[in-house]
Amino acid sequence: MGLSGISLLTTTYSLILQHQSLLLCLRAKGFGLDLKKDMEGVDYLSDERKKAQFDVEAMKIAWAGSLEAFQLSDRMAKLVANDPAFEKFTRPMLGRKELIKNTLRKAAHGWKLIVDLRLTEEEAKWLRLYIDEPAYTDLHWGMFIPAIEGQGTEEQKKKWLPLAKKMQIIGCYAQTELGHGSNVQGLETTATFDPQTDEFIMHSPTLTSSKWWPGGLGKASTHAVVYARLIVGGEFHGVHGFIVQLRSLDDHSPLPGVTVGDIGMKFGNGAYNTMDNGVLRFDHVRIPRDQMLMRVSQVTREGKIMQSDVPRQLIYGTMVYVRQTIVADASKALSRAVCIATRYSAIRRQFGSRNGGPETQVIDYKTQQSRLFPLLASAYAFRFVGEWLKWLYTDVKERLAANDFSTLPEAHACTAGLKSLTTSFTADGIEECRKLCGGHGYLVSSGLPELFAVYIPACTYEGDNVVLLLQVARFLVKTVSELGYKKPVGTTAYMGRVASLMQNNCAVQTAEGWLNPGAVVEAFESRAARMAVRCGQQLAKYENPEEGFAELSADLVEASIAHCQLIVVSKFIEKLQQDIPGKGVKQTLEVLCYVYALFLLHKHQGDFLATGYLTPKQASLANDQLRTLYSKVRPNAITLVDSFNYTDHYLGSILGRYDGNVYPKLYEAAWKDPLNDSDVVDGFYEYVQPILKQKLRTAKL
Ligand SMILES: CCCCCCCCCCCCC/C=C/C(=O)SCCNC(=O)CCNC(=O)[C@H](O)C(C)(C)COP(=O)(O)OP(=O)(O)OC[C@H]1O[C@@H](n2cnc3c(N)ncnc32)[C@H](O)[C@@H]1OP(=O)(O)O
Ligand SMILES: Cc1cc2nc3c(=O)[nH]c(=O)nc-3n(C[C@H](O)[C@H](O)[C@H](O)COP(=O)(O)OP(=O)(O)OC[C@H]3O[C@@H](n4cnc5c(N)ncnc54)[C@H](O)[C@@H]3O)c2cc1C
């Protein structure tokens, strides 16, 4: 084949796809073809992009939340993508020590950019996100600083925040211990007040009291907010946060009485192993009294405990904040996986060739659509519920600053429940995207294995997802039990209409009848209300409510999920009631909203049927409508993932490349693997050749 033959290959998309494997063969056999030259600059997804029925640029803004948010995020994404210091392709191949050093280098480079370019805190946050490498800085900015902001007095904030914000100290959040994580009141580390010296003595009395897991603790942090049992005058006064210095600010060595290190390798290559999750023990370490975070309770010089008007639960406030950010992260992680799987599904062809024509794009298989499009719709649903949750948290924060604590229980229930719902779904969704990409999805260069490995602990950290759903259940049970005399508000307002929600059944008669926001919301409200009330009725049969709660906990978790799904569906619908500019943007989002809701209805139809709200026929009509909706998503699928505006750097996936140039890049990447540095593998002469050359004497073989 001559050069003219090769240039012919670039003429049509389908021809190129057919000939890619041939080209690759030629190169491998030393025919000297330059694949890069032949394939680069071609957009293999351009036909797909032409199918869009909406204004992609406007959708990017709808996804980002505003034009300003879009521009900021776009600027930071490009800053990172264009800086070779943030290369991450080789990350999964690095040993642990190299990995951590590499992460420290990237964090330092990121900080230099933040300082040199005078980035705002918001810009810095996006910069760190796009660097896309879990690091001690996540905990420093994401938990250490918020803990001081939320639980410190004005004086404490004045002293510690400037140091932390200039990174003159590095902090982490040391709550979990070897023996207890979920049960915070069960922590064993002690902080005993010594009135003689006006100090607290931090101590780890047992092996199980060793702090275990805190990110950034293992190797980087100089300080920690340590959660410990406050002991004054020999009495226990609850768990509180204390700012403790761990390492010297000169040479970083542990201070006397402090034993600190890393807890070891975690799941996956690269992935969360860039984080130095640590272990920490105290041997009677003394800290000044004013290093207890004292917004909630104060210990005076004389050793008296003073309670402020602030509720004790505010000690858990940092977790509320972080859970809210984790919901936003869920939409990022899910949209990333979906972007990879959608683009690749449009490139990948299997079966269905007629008369030598191209095979079918796997995205056109209805089974592929029924697995992929609900994930795409969920990414958008989580994005919008995350936006709402951020608003809710900001509102609560403002109220707390003004000593109004009335909305804290709802904020706790919403953040706990939505954190649980979105992270569990996203973790499963990333794995589904890997399967949607067939064999190539299992390659590290697909980006999916590392994304999965880095993401799955989100189901555990910041509260185990089941433990958090049980918190939602307590909130629901309380709401139900108070219905007779207290009007439910906020996300439980629907319970105020419990009588009609229990009585009225679904009125939908046709598949089109499901394209009605009122019908959809009522279905989810009725299911959630009926499940919560049923749990309440069951609980009432127990003399001991705690015993009943434990016995019914699996059902209570189901009721919590129903309530949280209702929130996500309602917030998506509310979003669509706003003005959303751009040709076809609102209509396309409406389709996704129905996909999300009807997919859930189909998946959980057992709940809807068992509560008596739906008939089997109505459930079946919902499924008919869902199939029609998938056909409406299909032409917009690629541009819906383009609207996330992810750079190829952030995606970190050959399968998800913007230009769809998958096969040559996969091929090229394989040759970059260190194993291919030589033709004869290391160890051949020691371990393989002797086998090949052996003269076997046994008759059997
Ligand atoms: C592409 C994307 C890539 C993604 C990668 C990004 C990286 C992101 C970085 C994220 C880094 C994560 C780092 C992780 C950090 C951590 O994990 S920190 C440790 C977190 N630990 C937990 O979450 C522990 C979970 N346990 C608890 O929260 C609580 O102990 C509990 C289980 C909720 C309560 O236990 P219990 O003993 O029953 O309760 P009490 O202590 O007695 O309190 C009960 C009352 O308090 C109310 N309440 C509970 N929590 C809160 C709260 N947070 N806020 C407000 N109120 C709260 C509860 O409702 C009870 O109220 P009443 O009924 O009115 O009494
Ligand atoms: C990657 C990662 C990073 C972390 N970073 C930090 C950090 O920076 N700082 C920090 O302090 N901690 C951190 N943690 C710790 C984390 O917060 C805890 O692991 C988490 O809160 C879960 O607690 P646990 O490990 O005690 O789980 P457990 O509570 O022991 O859970 C084990 C099982 O028991 C079940 N279970 C527990 N209690 C109940 C119950 N009441 N009812 C029903 N079932 C129950 C759970 O559902 C789960 O299936 C991190 C953890 C991970 C994995």
Q: How far is the CA of 188 from the centre of ligand 2 (A)?
A: 16
- Asked if 378 and 358 sit in the same domain, the reply is yes
The count of residues in the chain is 701
Domain boundary among 308, 335, 356: 308
Domain boundary among 620, 642, 664: 642
Residue 5: pLDDT band (50, 70, 90) is very low
Per-residue model confidence (pLDDT) at position 294? 97
Q: How far is the CA of 465 from the centre of ligand 2 (A)?
A: 9
Per-residue model confidence (pLDDT) at position 701? 58
Q: For position 432, which CATH number holds?
A: 1.20.140.10
- Asked if 358 and 242 sit in the same domain, the reply is no
Least confident of 37-41, 348-352, 651-655, 677-681: 37-41
pLDDT digits (tens, 9 = 90+) for 237-261: 999 999 999 999 999 999 999 999 9
Q: Looking up tokens 């907010």, which residue turns up?
A: 225
The b-or-e profile of 585-613 (16+ CB within 10 A means b, else e) is bbebbbbbbbbbbbbbbbebbebbeebeb
Q: Whose CA is nearest to atom 16 of ligand 2?
A: 461
Q: Is residue 681 pLDDT above 50, yes or no?
A: yes
Q: Is residue 100 part of a domain?
A: no
Per-residue DSSP letters for 284-304?
A: SEEEEGGGB--SSEEE-TTS-
- Asked if 220 and 348 sit in the same domain, the reply is no
Q: Which two tokens stand for residue 602?
A: 């189909």
Q: Is residue 513 part of a domain?
A: yes
Domain that holds residue 183: 145-308
Per-residue model confidence (pLDDT) at position 695? 82
- Which residues are bridge partners to 305 per DSSP? 299
Give the annotated binding-site residues for FAD: 176, 215
Q: Is residue 164 part of a domain?
A: yes
Q: Among residues of the chain, what percentage have pLDDT more than 70?
A: 94
- Asked if 209 and 328 sit in the same domain, the reply is no
Q: Looking up tokens 């510690």, which residue turns up?
A: 160
Per-residue model confidence (pLDDT) at position 698? 64
Q: Is residue 469 part of a domain?
A: yes
Per-residue model confidence (pLDDT) at position 36? 52
Residue 31: pLDDT band (50, 70, 90) is very low
- What is the H or E stretch that residue 237 is in? strand 235-245
Residues with Cβ within 8 Å of 481's Cβ and at least 6 positions away in sequence, in order, are 536
Domain boundary among 642, 657, 682: 642
Residues with CB under 6 A from ligand 1: 134, 138, 142, 173, 175-176, 181-185, 215, 313, 316, 319-320, 329, 332-333, 336, 408-409, 412, 454-455, 461-463, 467, 471, 474
Per-residue DSSP letters for 376-395?
A: HHHHHHHHHHHHHHHHHHHH
Q: Among residues of the chain, what percentage have pLDDT more than 90?
A: 90
Q: How far is the CA of 539 from the centre of ligand 1 (A)?
A: 24
Q: Is residue 21 pLDDT above 80, yes or no?
A: no
Residue 699: pLDDT band (50, 70, 90) is low
Pocket test for ligand 1, best of 173, 182, 382, 454 (most atoms within 8 A of CB): 182
Pocket test for ligand 2, best of 460, 552, 555, 558 (most atoms within 8 A of CB): 460
- Asked if 303 and 323 sit in the same domain, the reply is no
Q: Is the CB of 200 under 6 A from ligand 2?
A: no
Contact 311, 405 (CB under 8 A): yes
Residues with Cβ within 8 Å of 477's Cβ and at least 6 positions away in sequence, in order, are 532, 535, 536, 539, 549, 556
pLDDT digits (tens, 9 = 90+) for 175-184: 999 999 999 9
- Asked if 233 and 335 sit in the same domain, the reply is no
pLDDT digits (tens, 9 = 90+) for 480-490: 999 999 999 99
Rounded Cα distance, 28 and 107, in Å: 39
Overall domain count for the chain: 2
Would you give the end-to-end CA distance of the chain in angstroms? Answer: 48
Q: Is residue 341 part of a domain?
A: yes
- Asked if 188 and 244 sit in the same domain, the reply is yes
Per-residue model confidence (pLDDT) at position 22? 37
Average pLDDT in the chain: 93
Q: Is residue 144 pLDDT above 80, yes or no?
A: yes
Q: Is residue 320 pLDDT above 90, yes or no?
A: yes
Contact 265, 273 (CB under 8 A): yes
Residue 642: pLDDT band (50, 70, 90) is very high
Q: Is the CB of 457 under 6 A from ligand 2?
A: yes
Of 570, 253, 561, the closest CA to residue 392 belongs to 570
- Asked if 241 and 204 sit in the same domain, the reply is yes
Going through 77-179 in order, the beta strands assigned E by DSSP cover: 171-174
Q: Is residue 10 pLDDT above 60, yes or no?
A: no
- Asked if 414 and 509 sit in the same domain, the reply is yes
Phi, psi of 201 (to 5 degrees): -105, 115
Per-residue model confidence (pLDDT) at position 671? 95
- Asked if 304 and 355 sit in the same domain, the reply is no
Q: Is residue 632 part of a domain?
A: yes
Q: Is residue 123 part of a domain?
A: no
Dihedral of alpha carbons 209, 210, 213, 216, sign: positive
* Full-model pTM: 0.94
The ipTM assigned to this model is 0.97
CA 215 to ligand 1: nearest atom: 13
Q: Is the CB of 382 under 6 A from ligand 2?
A: no
What amino acid is encoded at 513 in this protein?
G
Q: Whose CA is nearest to atom 19 of ligand 1?
A: 462
CA 465 to ligand 2: nearest atom: 47
Rounded Cα distance, 468 and 470, in Å: 5
Q: Is residue 17 pLDDT above 70, yes or no?
A: no
Q: For position 156, which CATH number holds?
A: 2.40.110.10
Contact 413, 563 (CB under 8 A): no
Q: Is residue 464 part of a domain?
A: yes
Q: Is residue 8 pLDDT above 50, yes or no?
A: no
Per-residue model confidence (pLDDT) at position 447? 97
What amino acid is encoded at 244 in this protein?
V
The whole-number average pLDDT for the span 122-130 is 98
- Asked if 252 and 325 sit in the same domain, the reply is no
- Asked if 339 and 256 sit in the same domain, the reply is no
